[in-house]
Amino acid sequence: MLDNGIRLAALYSVGCPELVQMNLDSALWSFVVGEPTASISAESARGILEKLDPFVFYQLIAFAVNEKDCFSESVVRAHWLGNGALNPVQDSDVKQVLTDLSSRDSLDVHKLAALALKLRGLIGFVPHHNFCVLQLFAGLKKRGKIPERIITEADRCLVKPGKVVSKSGGLFGVKNLVLVPGSDGGLDVNVRVAMVDSRLISDAAPVFVSTHLGRVREAISEEDSQKLENLLLEAVDFSNK
């Protein structure tokens, strides 16, 4: 049986630019969909996932809740969808992550120093994926209007809840929020319906779903949909400070 946390992390990671650049997206895709002739092992999938940016946030969340395995399902779900394991980053969590990473051969001293600086700046920050995306915008509105192409790309990277309102072939029409320029130079949201690739989901008739990078990722409950929407709006507010 596949490790649920690793599979969940893979489910939300397929299609991300990092994977594509490393030519590892097809391998992780085969793991997610369970292709019998090409699927990699859970151990191999974990090795790939440890190379991606969210890995550091899994560690921060795990240290904060005293979870030994940073790929436990509750930890991974906290980062992507939000749950009770999601707490603001503490200085002690950052120190533990840096201690762990400093023992790895894959990080040289310069990369570790850069990561240390980044993590220090996240103390008090919620390590949810949408905050990770939108924290780049924090303070930008004070420097002038944010280019729409950057907002569009950021919107694509967000994990968003949505309600399925139509179906056509391998696409779902999903009603959800879209990131737009705010009237004051920051960010705002509107409601839209967009056709989204549904090949990753086995449920043929979901009501509420999560979307990321132009794909439906999984069916979620109405309660989880509302929690994720709240986190998205909180992340937008955070970016506008």
Domain range summary for the chain, segments of one domain joined by + = 4-130, 146-239
**Does the structural domain 146-239 have CATH classification 2.30.30.140?**
yes
What is the spatial distance between Cα 155 and Cα 180, in angstroms, rounded to a whole number?
8
pLDDT at 161 over 90: yes
Contact (CB, 8 A) for 44 and 36: no
Residue 192 has pLDDT above 90, yes or no: yes
Q: What mean pLDDT is predicted for residues 164-175?
A: 92
What integer is the mean pLDDT of 204-228? 93
Report how far residue 215's alpha carbon sits from residue 14's, in angstroms, rounded to the nearest whole number. Answer: 10
> What are residue 136's phi and psi, to 5 degrees?
-65, -20
Output the pLDDT for position 30. Answer: 87
Q: What is the pLDDT of residues 194-208, one digit of tens each?
A: 999 998 887 777 899
- pLDDT of 2 strictly over 60: no
Q: What's the whole-number mean pLDDT along residues 33-57?
A: 84
pLDDT over threshold 50, residue 1: no
Most confident listed range (33-37, 83-87, 138-142, 153-157):
153-157
